[in-house]
Amino acid sequence: MTSPEHSPLGQTTVFPHGYDAGLLFPIPRAPQRASLAVPGRLPFHGEDLWTAFELSWLDARGKPLIGIAEFAVPAHSPCLIESKSWKLYLNGFASERYASVAELAAVLRRDLSAAAGAKVEATLYAPRQFPIALAGLPGVCIDALPIDIDCYGPPQPDFLAADSDSAVTECLVSHLLKSNCPVTGQPDWASVQIAYSGPRIEHAGLLRYLISYRQHSDFHEHCVERIFCDVLSRCSPQRLSVYARYTRRGGIDINPFRSSDPLARAPRLREPRQ
């Protein structure tokens, strides 16, 4: 079974003492995308960036090594991978020996690609070599707008509006995105960047819309795809990218990026809360 309620989330779990690729729990993307009226060809491209800060394994002589791993799951993959199952899988490497970092990376790529149904990139870094800068999402922050808020869920796409007589290219940022895990109910906190070209999006309405996720329950990836599709439908931009940097849980952060540009990649940077 591949529905969230059958995943390891929210269940008492015995942590593994060895490698087991069978722990990875794929969840099909199609049912959620059907709720967004996104049949057939997707209106976006992109990737889900995962960063694992608690990865350890043994070298060929049995000495423990540590590293930070970055993974990129393509948005077109048939499945996402449930985060707790991913954590359990990674924990299993703590007692496994590998002759080189390249050997370990190859195993990670193979297993995660099989679970997601598409090629997953995996890059390992020594902690001091981790290249992501603490720079923050570039753009105009809209959080200080003086607006009244009385809706915290479900998401309200009717809040979105754009001025068809005023075309702009701009990048907007909010640090007020919050949703909840659909299984455990735990809060998920994020900063989100919306970059677009087209009719000028009304900033106060966009902020109200993002805050309306506050009591919404869904996975990170699903929230970002919903934001993308709602902005695309309601505001009609010619170009659009949505990027969310979520705070980590259990040593892993998940950062979905969706764009109308097939060549666009998520910038590798970190928010201070991460």
- Among 48, 79, 111, 181, the active-site one is 181
Q: Is 188 considered catalytic here?
A: yes
- Sequence-distant (≥ 6) Cβ neighbours of residue 258 within 8 angstroms: 44, 45, 46, 75, 224, 225, 228, 241, 242, 243
Q: Is 181 considered catalytic here?
A: yes
- Among 48, 111, 188, 230, the active-site one is 188
DSSP string, the chain: --SGGGSSTTS--PPPSS--GGG--EEESHHHHHHTT--SS-S-EEEEEEEEEEEEEE-TTS-EEEEEEEEEEETTSSEEE-HHHHHHHHHGGGG-B-S-HHHHHHHHHHHHHHHHTS--EEEEE-GGG---EE----SEE-TT--------SS--GGG--EEEEEEEEEEEEEEEEEEE-TTT--EEEEEEEEEEEEEEEPHHHHHHHHHTTTT-B--HHHHHHHHHHHHHHHH--SEEEEEEEEPPBTTEEEEEEEES-TT-----EE-TT-
**Catalytically active residues, by annotation:** 181, 188
